[in-house]
Chains A and B, each alone.
Chain A
Amino acid sequence: MTSMLHRFLTAGVLAVWGAVLLTIYFTGRICAYLHPNFQPFALVAGCLLVCFAFLVLIAPPTANAHAAARSSVWGVLTSLLLVAPLLLAFTNTLDSFGASAVANRVYVQNLAQLPGAQVPAVGQPSGTVEAPLPDDGSGTSQSANTAQDDKYLLPKNKQGQVRAQVVDFLYAAQLPEIREQLENKPVEVIGQLMPAKTNNPKGNRFVVIRMMMTCCAADAQPIALPIEPQHAPDLPDMTWIRVTGKAAFPLEGGQRKPLIQNASVEKTDAPDDPYLY
């Protein structure tokens, strides 16, 4: 391959990767892809790649001599393989998972399955949950739950309904001091509509889910809360919905399972940050 062609191909590939990373970062799309802790790495990598692209263009010829010895065809093919899938993915994603990808994952429906949560041991005093309740990105859950004396206090909305996150119900099923704030009380929860895959004996339930991210979207898991609606909602899967109803924790299969009964469902806007962390 000619030295000049190699130089431009290399710089072009680096520039495209850097530009994609920086575009995703500066347009805010990064929030859909990475946990906040990982987002700065993408920014740094994007900046470095753009810098490297520039440096490759002005580098002395000796620095590129070895790679330039490869054939032109190989160089072009490699560059295409590096750039085409990236651009194809970049332009063909909705920056969120659709219903089929979520349905293909195992729903998290109890505390033991929740990433990073600690299931209290038998006999452990209630109120000593070592893992904090996950942050929903809005600050609501964290601020409400970072209460004194290890007691989590859930907020109420203007209608007097307890405003809880999907994940609060998983904790409540295990921890009496959270359950007493929810059980048999009017509650409000926001999430995405999906069909119930299990624990649906009469076939009248659906689930409201929130995706919980550990590092990146690929590892996000749906945290699911079963809902028994007054009327089956006529909305597409993955629609953001606001559910209001009465919280219950019936014993099913020997375990307390969270459930919202007699629920009303209405379409709502997606929260600023769709993920729990």
Chain B
Amino acid sequence: MGGAFQFSLSDFSFAFLSILLEGLPFLLLGTMIAGVIDQFLPVRLMARLLPRNAYAGMLVSGLLGILFPICECGVVPIIRRLMAKGLPPANAITYMLAAPIVNPIVAASTFAAFRGQSPLEITFLRLGLGYGVAVAVGIVVHNLPLRRVLRAEVIADIAQPQGLSGGAVAGGTVGRLWGALAVCVGDFLSMTVYFVLGAAAAALFNTSVNQDFIVPLATNDWLATGSLMTLAALLSLCSTTDAFIAATFSMFPAVAKLAFLVFGPLVSLKLVFLYSSVFRKSFVLGLAAGLFVAICLLCIRLRVIGL
């Protein structure tokens, strides 16, 4: 006991199954919504509803989570369908990154978890930073060629705006329901492959790595922030409840806990695998590295306001 790494198949299996059992219903919900979007949402409707100006559109996309709250597992299949329905990729990515943070459920859980630890400030900063970072990434993506961002098959879906299913299946509403089922099942299986890989990686860290080793890092702002962000990525917690875990890192400074809360829902082991089902691997790695640096710098900078 006390080593840095100890593996037990039973413990790994237990943590792995618990992550799957917790996340799978939300992944299924996301793919069901994706199926409905694919078959019932008119092509280009989302694009028409958003402001014509691309940047204003991204600002609005970052707030869609308030109306359509969904956690990070469910949002990936949804944005894939929304892009196939004509939502610009930059807007879709802005929604994807913002929705798991900028939504009422996360606001309420963060406020509740941080009672006694400046809850209003932490909640406001979490949502504000999450929104700002999501919009910033959207702006960057807006200026990148699609082939550097999306996988080839996703670009093909966008080029063929009816979507992956080939559009509405003949036979009216019943036919569309069959089509929605096909899209839902197809998306569910392809996303679950990545989810299984992410859950396995998170479970391995969760049960095999001695977490006492990160505690000494709490004394330095840079190390504390970097280590909690890394921990957030490894633990792959759900954004609706991660605040309850973050609040318990009592020896860590508030800026580090804030970084944990902003970075975790955007980049985690689980999500890196899920993102890879839609985005190019190089983009996913660049996104992860860029967000790590940006959020770390932003959060440490917040020391100036006494956080």
Contacts and interface: CB of A to CB of B under 8 A. Distances in A.
Contact of A89 (B16, B164, B188, B237): B16
Nearest to A75: B189
Interface string B134-169: 000000000000000000000000000000111001
A218 B18 contact: yes
Given A85-B200, A92-B10, A219 B1 contact: no
B11 A113 contact: no
A78 B191 CA distance: 11
B28 interface: yes
Nearest to B112: A116
Contact of A219 (B20, B237, B250): B237
Contacts of B175: 60
A243 interface: no
Contact of A218 (B171, B189, B203): B203
B21 A42 contact: yes
A192 interface: no
A66 B164 contact: yes
* Size bracket of the A interface: 35 or more
Interface in B239-282: 241, 244-245, 247-250
A216 B18 contact: yes
Interface in A84-131: 85-86, 88-90, 92-101, 103-106, 108, 110, 112-116, 118-121, 130-131
B288 interface: no
Interface in B188-215: 188-190, 192-193, 196, 200, 202-203, 206-212, 215
A50 interface: no
Given A52-B184, A59-B181, A93 B112 contact: no
A41 B25 contact: yes
Contacts of A120: 116
Interface in A59-80: 59-60, 62-67, 78
Given A106-B211, A214-B245, A63 B181 contact: yes
A100 B207 CA distance: 8
A19 to B, nearest CB: 13
A52 B13 contact: no
Contacts of B178: 59-60, 62-63
Interface string B60-75: 0000000000000000
A244 interface: no
Of A59, A85, A98, A216, the most chain B CB neighbours within 10 A belong to A216
A120 B11 CA distance: 36
B119 to A, nearest CB: 10
Contacts of B179: 63
A62 B13 contact: no
B200 to A, nearest CB: 6
A218 B202 contact: yes
Contacts of B124: none
B169 A63 contact: yes
Interface string A189-232: 00000010100000000000000001111110100000000000
B235 A104 contact: no
A219 B23 CA distance: 13
B46 interface: no
A56 B181 contact: yes
A195 B212 CA distance: 14
Interface in B9-42: 9-22, 24-26, 28, 32
Of A89, A95, A105, the most chain B CB neighbours within 10 A belong to A89
A5 interface: no
A144 interface: no
A88 B10 CA distance: 10
B15 A55 contact: no
Interface in A11-68: 13-14, 17, 21, 24, 30, 32-34, 38, 41-42, 44-45, 48-49, 52, 55-56, 59-60, 62-67
B1 A195 contact: yes
B248 A218 contact: no
22 contacts: A21-B24, A33-B17, A33-B21, A38-B22, A41-B25, A44-B25, A60-B175, A78-B189, A89-B14, A89-B16, A90-B13, A95-B14, A101-B207, A103-B210, A115-B245, A116-B113, A116-B247, A197-B2, A197-B212, A216-B21, A217-B14, A219-B241
Given A14-B188, A93-B17, 7 more contacts: A21-B21, A33-B22, A67-B186, A215-B241, A216-B21, A218-B206, A219-B245
